[in-house]
Chain A
Amino acid sequence: MKRLIPIVLAILLTPCWVKAADILVVVSADSPVQPLSRRELVDLYMGRSHYFPDGSPALKIDAPPDSALREAFYQALVNMSSSQVNAYWARLMFTGRATPPLPVANTDDLVSLLERNPSALGYLPEGSENKNLKTIFVIKESPGAP
């Protein structure tokens, strides 16, 4: 929680000052979704929650499987590598209840997908955002990670 306070402050007061390596979690600008807590974000991406805290369904978009962005995102969020996350999902594949986030081919597809779908949730490296997108969480680049 101590770490979250400066992050929230940074998002609210100086959105344009975020550091170059940070990852922004974004939704469509039209979405009613409010900024998320870290736990809510983890629950969404690791398959525990299928809905935003306000009850609206969430369409989770993943970066391309082999991208550095995906690696950096999961490392920072749950301290797992891309392959560990793949294994996690592979284990759950047969039960059918939890479904992994929908991967996209490249970052441009991600942006256009988010712009078009109000229930979609995705993440972008800092600097790729535009006015059609709304940042609901900022993940500080963990030290030493690419």
Chain B
Amino acid sequence: MATVFLVFGGYVSYLRAEKLERVNALQVVEELVTVVEGNAAIAAYLRDIQLATEIAQGLEASRYISHVTVDIEGNDSIRIGRERPDGAPDVFRPLPSPFSGAEVVGTIRVQADLAYIAELAAVGGRSVVGSQLAQLALVSLVTLWLVRRVVTRPLNSVVRQLKRIGLSGTEYLRGISSRSDDEIGYLAKNINSMLHTIHDAYLTEAEKNRHIAQLERKFRLIFEGSHAGIVLVDEHNQLALSNSAFEGMVDHLVERNPNGEGCSLTQYFRDPQRVEKVLDTVRRNRASAFCDLMLAGHQDVWVRGVFSMIQNQDDEEKEYVEVVFYDISDRALVEKHFEYGATHDQLTGLLNRRGGMGRFEQQIEKACAKGMGFMLCLIDLNDFKPVNDIYGHEAGDLVLKEVAQRLRDALRPDDVVVRWGGDEFVVSLLTTSAQAEDTIGRNLLAVFVESLEIKPGVRVQVGASIGIATSEGVGFDIERIIEAADVAMYEVKRGDKNSYRVFEDAI
């Protein structure tokens, strides 16, 4: 396009320059003729061939003129130079008489050297076009250089720097530097502020992601690394999530579902109805519950399940129950579990006779080892039977619980309190002084001074007959001590009832 325009423009300006050159040349010819016209008129007037010839030769000597004819009225023509075949003069002037303007004494006809003028014009045109092209080229070069310097190079520099910038790096972001004060500099500044914003956002996001990843790792560690089996159960009792501990627990029980999803929790247990019931209860009460369950399969494997509701934050509709299973079929755990039942009284939470015997042995061992005394008090409630008869077993149970609590409160933590059976309690303790029996006896009697409330507004009074035996009096044989305490207690029962008595050999 530019080339076409250049060629066309060059041609037009060539034509113009050539035409100008031609017109100029013809004008020069006219002027030359005008210069010699006066003398030519005189020559024609005088019919002076010599003079006319000289004038014609002078004209013809000009490089613009190829042929001159001077016609003298009533005489010959003088022809100088090569005449063109067409013969038409480019300049024609009549020559008037110098002394009488009306009389024409001759003519002068001049043919311009058109070939030379054309050549001259062509040279002129070419030189004009050439110089114009040279100017154009120079201006183009300067413009190109300026554009390169002012626009292209700063832009390239900006682009190069942009390419080098790594947004994902955590190091400080090096912005784009541009020395330009113009739009490119403005652009660079804007890009810088944008880049910094993006970079800051990236850093914040990266930090957040790192934090989340860390948290996720920790949670996964808790979830996957836990020894307890953890499962999430949806509203259809299907497993939504389970950890590897749980899978290890139940892996051998059921044919594994290939897609792993849609397994019911209940199928893993020997008593599925019970599991369903617990789940329903948890959902209904929205409270945690625990329950010991036996897994399905041939082995007796006990697990304790802790069921709790989980409120889903995203979706109120979807509620999960989280169940954490501990394997309690472990021998020690089983024993502990059974031992508690075996050594404790269910109603009062105190040790039962069996549990108490174990502790007496421990206390005696300790007393022997440290040179301390052992004391055992057998407490038999008085007036308890009427309470049972009048107010019923619940009232009796309440009395027993209250008495148990008061006994616990009255004694030191290391002392042992046992529900010996029915309405009998045993308290055993280690003593350091010889005269501790009376203090203990009085303290124990004080427990029964205040009446007990069995229902609002109804209070009952129960008393106690207390028999006390000590290692000082009887020795460290527990059977004998208990026997001695029993004897002392019957002494009291037979006597004034609500009192205590220490066993003595004299009895």
Contacts of B45 in A (CB 8 A): 46, 48
Is A98 among interface residues, defined by CB-CB distance under 8 A?
Answer: yes
Bound together, the chains give a CA A91 to CA B36 distance in angstroms of: 13
What is the number of residues of chain B that contact chain A, defined by CB distance less than 8 Å? 13
A–B pairs, 6, beta carbons within 8 Å: A39-B100, A48-B45, A48-B46, A78-B99, A91-B42, A98-B48
Bound together, the chains give a CA A98 to CA B47 distance in angstroms of: 9
Complex: chain B residue closest to A38, CB-CB: B100
Complex: chain B residue closest to A96, CB-CB: B50
Partner of A48, one of B47, B49, B51: B47
Given A39-B100, A78-B99, verify A95-B50 contact (CB < 8 Å): yes
Q: Are B48 and A92 in contact (CB under 8 A)?
A: yes
CB distance from A47 to the nearest CB of B (A): 6
Contacts of A104 in B (CB 8 A): none
Given A42-B100, A78-B99, verify A98-B46 contact (CB < 8 Å): yes
Task: Render A63-107 as a binary contact track against B, CB cut-off 8 A, 1 for contact.
Answer: 000000000000000100000000010011001111000000000
Q: Are A97 and B100 in contact (CB under 8 A)?
A: no
Given A47-B46, A48-B45, A48-B46, verify A95-B99 contact (CB < 8 Å): no
Task: Render B422-465 as a binary contact track against A, CB cut-off 8 A, 1 for contact.
Answer: 00000000000000000000000000000000000000000000
Bound together, the chains give a CA A88 to CA B39 distance in angstroms of: 10
Q: Are B46 and A97 in contact (CB under 8 A)?
A: yes
Partner of A92, one of B42, B47, B49, B99: B42
Complex: chain A residue closest to B52, CB-CB: A95
- Residues of B whose CB lies within 8 Å of any CB of A are 39, 42, 45-51, 54, 98-100
CB distance from B49 to the nearest CB of A (A): 8
Q: Are A97 and B51 in contact (CB under 8 A)?
A: yes
Q: Are A46 and B51 in contact (CB under 8 A)?
A: no
- The 3 A-B pairs at the shortest CB distance, nearest first, are namely A95-B51, A78-B99, A95-B50
Contacts of A91 in B (CB 8 A): 39, 42
Partner of B51, one of A39, A42, A88, A92: A92
Given contacts A91-B39, A97-B48, 4 further A-B contacts (CB under 8 A): A42-B99, A95-B50, A97-B49, A98-B48
What is the number of residues of chain A that contact chain B, defined by CB distance less than 8 Å? 13
Bound together, the chains give a CA A91 to CA B39 distance in angstroms of: 9
Task: Render A46-67 as a binary contact track against B, CB cut-off 8 A, 1 for contact.
Answer: 1110000000000000000000
Q: Are A97 and B50 in contact (CB under 8 A)?
A: yes
CB distance from A17 to the nearest CB of B (A): 29
Bound together, the chains give a CA A92 to CA B98 distance in angstroms of: 14
Bound together, the chains give a CA A92 to CA B49 distance in angstroms of: 12
CB distance from B295 to the nearest CB of A (A): 151
Bound together, the chains give a CA A121 to CA B438 distance in angstroms of: 205
Q: Are B46 and A92 in contact (CB under 8 A)?
A: yes
CB distance from B98 to the nearest CB of A (A): 8
CB distance from A45 to the nearest CB of B (A): 10
Complex: chain A residue closest to B54, CB-CB: A95
Contacts of A39 in B (CB 8 A): 100
Contacts of A48 in B (CB 8 A): 45-47
Partner of B99, one of A46, A96, A97: A46
Contacts of B49 in A (CB 8 A): 97
Bound together, the chains give a CA A97 to CA B50 distance in angstroms of: 8
Contacts of B46 in A (CB 8 A): 46-48, 92, 97-98
Contacts of A42 in B (CB 8 A): 99-100
Bound together, the chains give a CA A92 to CA B390 distance in angstroms of: 186
Bound together, the chains give a CA A96 to CA B51 distance in angstroms of: 9
Contacts of B51 in A (CB 8 A): 92, 95, 97
Bound together, the chains give a CA A46 to CA B42 distance in angstroms of: 10
Contacts of A88 in B (CB 8 A): 42, 98
Contacts of B98 in A (CB 8 A): 46, 88
Complex: chain A residue closest to B45, CB-CB: A48
Bound together, the chains give a CA A97 to CA B49 distance in angstroms of: 9
Complex: chain A residue closest to B39, CB-CB: A91
Complex: chain A residue closest to B48, CB-CB: A97
Contacts of A92 in B (CB 8 A): 42, 46, 48, 51
CB distance from A101 to the nearest CB of B (A): 14
Bound together, the chains give a CA A96 to CA B50 distance in angstroms of: 9
Bound together, the chains give a CA A92 to CA B42 distance in angstroms of: 9
CB distance from A97 to the nearest CB of B (A): 5
Contacts of B99 in A (CB 8 A): 42, 46, 78
Contacts of B47 in A (CB 8 A): 48
| Interface hub of A47, A88, A92 (most chain B Cβ within 10 A) | A92
| Interface hub of B48, B51, B99 (most chain A Cβ within 10 A) | B99
Contacts of B100 in A (CB 8 A): 39, 42
CB distance from B301 to the nearest CB of A (A): 153
Contacts of A47 in B (CB 8 A): 46
Bound together, the chains give a CA A47 to CA B42 distance in angstroms of: 10
Q: Are A95 and B39 in contact (CB under 8 A)?
A: no
Bound together, the chains give a CA A88 to CA B45 distance in angstroms of: 12
Contacts of A98 in B (CB 8 A): 46, 48
Contacts of A97 in B (CB 8 A): 46, 48-51
Contacts of A96 in B (CB 8 A): 50
Bound together, the chains give a CA A12 to CA B428 distance in angstroms of: 204
CB distance from B351 to the nearest CB of A (A): 170
Bound together, the chains give a CA A109 to CA B440 distance in angstroms of: 203
CB distance from B78 to the nearest CB of A (A): 13
Complex: chain B residue closest to A39, CB-CB: B100
Bound together, the chains give a CA A78 to CA B100 distance in angstroms of: 8
Bound together, the chains give a CA A95 to CA B39 distance in angstroms of: 12
Bound together, the chains give a CA A78 to CA B97 distance in angstroms of: 11
Contacts of A78 in B (CB 8 A): 99
